[in-house]
């Protein structure tokens, strides 16, 4: 749909959700990304940002769509019910015949983004993609001070590190050729996240203690995640608070409406 010379990425938008989500039900929609903000579903704002970036060639959307959203999507993917299954299905749907074979162009790298960050702009998407190191997995993070300066009063979950206090982004970047290598390991980590002993066995108890005490450096996290997943992983500190601001409660929705109403289309 946008296969220009600068469109060197594909994108997977995760727009599924729990059918029993009270937030979505309160707004009369099946899943959260279909909640309207400033006249459009949240997911449509995200899709428009990807298109406006000028860097995204093809988009796969996982989850239900409105007709207007469907016009911004290249591949529709049925919600598989879990984050990992949806990620896997979305990346698989973007595979392009003939790319990555011997003598052919390498497969495009993939941007994975949730459909509940409507304040994301095309310019911000472009900046993240152009700033990202060329490694197997890149995870943008945002400093607490940046979030609070951009959106005063916003409530986020932060991690205190030696390098500063950060919130995680709601997007990440990956090399699709490596997904078969790290996805099973990522699944194991996510499966263990509510079992402290099992998680400690994977991550290391000393590492967890150090993290809880705020004594870890970003470089240490990168090295440990790279070892666990078996691919080179890097954090990307981004100045864009919208990357780390998803909408999951009425106050967030009011903030997004205020920001998007004040921003020209």
Mean pLDDT (the chain) is 90
Residue 190's pLDDT band, with cuts at 50, 70 and 90, is: confident
Q: What's the confidence (pLDDT) of residue 25?
A: 93
Token digits for 189? 């980590």
CATH number of 9-262: 3.90.550.10
Q: What's the confidence (pLDDT) of residue 153?
A: 87
Residue 103's pLDDT band, with cuts at 50, 70 and 90, is: very low
Token digits for 104? 């052919």
| Per-residue pLDDT at 104 exceeds 50 | no
DSSP assignment, residue 60? Answer: E
pTM exceeds 0.75 for this model: yes
Beta-bridged to residue 9, according to DSSP, are 56, 109
Mean pLDDT within 230-245: 97
CA–CA gap between residue 4 and residue 200 (Å, rounded): 46
**Percentage, residues of the chain above pLDDT 70:** 92
Q: What's the confidence (pLDDT) of residue 102?
A: 42
């Amino acid at each position: 749909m946008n296969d220009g010379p600068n469109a060197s990425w594909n994108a997977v938008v995760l727009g599924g959700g729990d059918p029993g989500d009270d937030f979505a039900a309160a707004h009369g929609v099946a899943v959260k990304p279909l909640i309207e903000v400033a006249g459009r579903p949240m997911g449509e704002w995200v899709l428009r940002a990807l298109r406006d970036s000028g860097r995204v060639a093809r988009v796969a959307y996982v989850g239900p769509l409105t007709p207007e959203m469907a016009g911004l999507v290249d591949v529709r993917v049925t919600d598989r019910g879990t984050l990992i299954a949806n990620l896997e299905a979305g990346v698989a749907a973007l595979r392009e015949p003939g790319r990555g074979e011997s003598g052919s162009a390498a497969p495009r790298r993939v941007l994975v983004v949730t459909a509940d960050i409507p304040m994301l702009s095309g310019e911000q998407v472009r900046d993240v993609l152009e700033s990202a190191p060329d490694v197997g997995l890149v995870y943008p993070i945002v400093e607490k001070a940046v979030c609070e300066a951009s959106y005063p009063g916003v409530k986020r979950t932060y991690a205190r590190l030696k390098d500063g206090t950060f919130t995680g982004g709601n997007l990440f970047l990956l090399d699709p050729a490596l997904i078969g290598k790290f996805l099973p390991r990522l699944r194991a980590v996510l499966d263990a996240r509510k079992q402290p002993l099992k998680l400690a066995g994977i991550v290391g108890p000393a590492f967890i203690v150090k993290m809880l005490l705020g004594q870890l450096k970003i470089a240490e996290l990168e090295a440990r995640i790279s070892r666990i997943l078996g691919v080179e992983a890097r954090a990307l500190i981004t100045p864009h608070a919208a990357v780390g601001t998803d909408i999951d409660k009425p106050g967030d929705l009011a903030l997004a409406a205020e920001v998007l109403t004040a921003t020209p289309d």
